[in-house]
Amino acid sequence: MLCPIKLGNEAEVLVAWTTGAMTPAEQEAFEQHMAECSACREAAGVQKAVCSALDAWKAPDVSADFDARLRTRIAAHDRLPWWRRLEFSWKPAIPVGVACAALAGAFLLHIPATQHAMPGATSPAIQSQQDAQRMDVDEVERALDDMDMLKQLDGPAPAPARAPEGS
């Protein structure tokens, strides 16, 4: 048997061994493995101690008026207005609200560089964008002129060949 600790499934194997959920062959293989593996032997001992402590534990008896008190609390909760029944805690919402307010403040206080320039003057970014658009228009005009010139150099298109009439 491969070591359950090395495989990462020791919890399932140990619980199955202590509760008797293993087949006899699996139980025998695990016990042989425990004879050789001190880590599994120690883990099995701890698991056995936990199971015996749980078996020895006695749950306290429920009081005689438990059901009546529970029904009373449920009825009192049902009589509350809907907004009081939500049981919403504001503690987790406070950091989220502060973070949202900080982000909103950062966006509102951020003033782009174009608003700092003189009225009527364009910023370098806008000027370079306008120059790029002007260059694109010039390139398109040159390309269209070149295409017109190439069309003039081409001769008339040859007529399509006809199939012989005897076929």
In the chain, where the domains are located: 4-56
Give 96-133 pLDDT, tens digit per residue: 888 999 988 888 887 665 555 555 556 666 777 777 66
pLDDT of residue 73: 92
Is the pLDDT assigned to residue 24 strictly greater than 60? yes
- Residue 163 pLDDT grade (very low, low, confident, very high; cuts 50, 70, 90): low
Query: Higher pLDDT residue, 155 or 63?
Result: 63
pLDDT of residue 143: 81
How far is it, in rounded angstroms, from Cα 16 to Cα 13?
A: 5
pTM above 0.85, yes or no: no
Tokens of 147: 């295409």
Structural Rg of the chain based on CA atoms? 42
Percentage of the chain beyond pLDDT 90 is: 13
The answer for residues whose C-beta is within 8 angstroms of residue 77's C-beta and 6 or more apart is 85
- Residue 59 pLDDT grade (very low, low, confident, very high; cuts 50, 70, 90): confident
Cα-based distances in Å from 42 to 16, 37, 38, 112, 144: 16, 9, 6, 67, 86
Neighbours of 115 (CB within 10 A): 7
Q: What b/e sequence results for 116-129 when a residue is b if at least 16 CB atoms lie within 10 Å of its CB, and e otherwise?
A: eeeeeeeeeeeeee
Mean pLDDT score, 78-104: 81
Cα-based distances in Å from 75 to 46, 65, 67, 80: 45, 16, 12, 9
How far is it, in rounded angstroms, from Cα 142 to Cα 33?
A: 85
